[in-house]
Amino acid sequence: MGIIQRQSIKGTIYSYIGVIIGFVTTGLLFPKFLSPEEIGLLSLLVSYSGLFAIFANLGFNSVIIRLFPYFRDDHKKNHGFFLITLIILIIGFFLAFGLYRILKPMIVRDSMEQSKLFVDYIFLVTPLIFFSLLFNTFDAYNRALYNATFGTFLKDLLQRILIFVAMALYLVNYADFHQFVFLYAVALSIPGVLIFYPLLLKKEIHLQMPEKGSVQPEMRKEIPFRDNLNE
């Protein structure tokens, strides 16, 4: 059995188990033990952080998949591609953060009907954007390195297990709702932290500057802010 087949099977197993856990948590426990306003708060945290994280990515995930094979070279540390990715990520995050700050009054106004609690926890959106962006970007990087299942494990399985545990702690009165919201935010953020594990394990994190000439003219067209590369 090839690597792709094994990873497909593992990814499918992670996804199915995650669906079951997610159904128990959000489909059964949330409606029974949380108010509509509390459920609305959790939904808004996920929705807004995910939306701005997608914008912050600047479409670079597809660039990683298309162009990384041209940079791949273990001896030359992939010609600084990791640092290029990191630079785009930082630029994208600050652009998304600026847009979020501009739109924040509108977001608060439009969210009041779904959950007035959202105003009390809106400060969590910024770190959730950051960790969602980390996960989305470096999950694509891992996939380019032929590790397609670790991101699925983190997002579809581990994150849902952590949310279930947070909910269980709330149900047995070990955590109040305020603490539960923070545990929920931590569960959403954990994949963005752990996504670096395979890169560290394989020693794929390099802060080497791209070599002059490593970004060819036809490749530069695919990269956001390409004029800043290989100057």
Residue 228, pLDDT score? 44
From the list 24, 19, 14, 17, the residue with the least C-alpha distance to 171 is 24
- Under 8 Å CB-to-CB from 23, ≥6 apart: which residues? none
Element (H, E) at 101: helix 81-111
- Under 8 Å CB-to-CB from 43, ≥6 apart: which residues? 114, 115
| pLDDT, tens digit, 9 for 90 and up, residues 164-210 | 999 999 999 999 999 999 999 999 999 999 999 988 888 877 777 76
Residue reference for tokens 């959000």: 26
Q: In 3-state terms, the chain is what percent helix, strand and coil (to 5)?
A: 80, 0, 20
The tokens describing 187, both together, are: 């569960």
At residue 212 the predicted structure's pLDDT band, cuts being 50, 70 and 90, is low
Residue 227, pLDDT score? 45
Please spell the DSSP secondary structure of 58-93, one letter per residue.
TTHHHHHHHHHHHH--GGGGGGGHHHHHHHHHHHHH
Residue 53, pLDDT score? 96
Average pLDDT over residues 37-48: 95
Identify the burial level of 41 via C-beta atoms within 10 angstroms of its C-beta, where 0-12 means exposed, 13-18 middle and 19 or more buried.
buried
Residue 20, pLDDT score? 96
Between CA 208 and CA 204 the distance in angstroms is 11
Distances (CA, A) of 52 to 11, 58, 59: 26, 10, 12
Q: Where are the alpha helices (DSSP H) in 114-195?
A: 118-121, 125-144, 150-152, 159-171, 177-194
